[in-house]
Amino acid sequence: MAKVVLITGASSGIGRITAILLAQHGYIVYAGTRDPSKFTIKLDNLHVIALDITDHQSIKHTIDAIQAEQGRIDVLINNAGYALVSTVEQASEEEMYNQFNINVFSILRLCKAVTPLMRINNSGVIINISSFLGKIGLPLFTFYNASKYAVEGITDSLRYELKPFNIRVHSIMPGFFNTNFAKGNLVLNDATVDENSPYSELASNLLPDILAQINGGNEAKEAAALIVKTIEDDASPARSTVGDKASKFIAMRRELSDEDFERRVREYYNLNG
């Protein structure tokens, strides 16, 4: 029996490539996106659906529809997310809330909705797409960092909570990938990037470097292949890195003290000025 997958944030980047790859591997894929018109590729077992992950009624409608059609959801991939670029001082209440609403609360909403179906079937896989910045802080990305740290905490706790029901929970921590993330998934706080901002020097030094690393990053198909492997391998680790930057920095994070690691990051991103 073909396994049924629900993936969020499927209109572009890693989500899009993963949805296509899973469909090509014979999975029945429901690709959730706010704007289905952006997903034009047609495959028999790929269903593009309108899904608002900030609205529990939209989530319920989606889950009920999949349940009615397939009778099950075997895999949930929480992929949707974006990065707010802002200092803590200059962020608005709305910006702070939206960052966590999309990157954190939506994962909890989806897990809350899907877990009962998996529990009844005594089987399931949940994959949370996190980031290597879920283990590493960077200035101007405090809210994104914090949201991805939260994703790691959700993953760790759910692994204990759902293991008795044979539900595996994993996080994938990508590095920088050459997708449209820099164009469509970075939200800039206007005050932070203003030339009169007290943080203008930091922003002008750091952001071009980050954008260059994203645009020159790994291909999304590498992350998609790891997601498929994680689904299919019962012995997959709790969390996996993918991409050059993630592998480098996470390994270094494990080896060094907090102070030594911070020193390395400061040197790498020229943050000592």
Active site residues: 11, 130, 144, 148
Give dist(CA 240, CA 148) in Å, integer: 14
- Give CA separation, 145 vs 9, 68, 126, 170, in Å: 19, 37, 21, 18
CB-based contacts of 190, cutoff 8 Å, min separation 6: none
Backbone angles phi, psi at 172, to 5 degrees: -110, 130
DSSP secondary structure string, 227-269? HHHHHH-TT--SEEEESHHHHHHHHHHHHS-HHHHHHHHHHHT
Tell me the C-alpha distance between 174 and 177, whole Å. 8
Where is 171: in which H helix or E strand? strand 167-174
What phi and psi values does residue 11 have, to the nearest 5 degrees? -80, -15
> How far is 108 from 151, CA to CA, in rounded Å?
9
Helix, strand, or coil (residue 270): coil
Q: Could you tell me the two tokens for 32? A: 């959730």
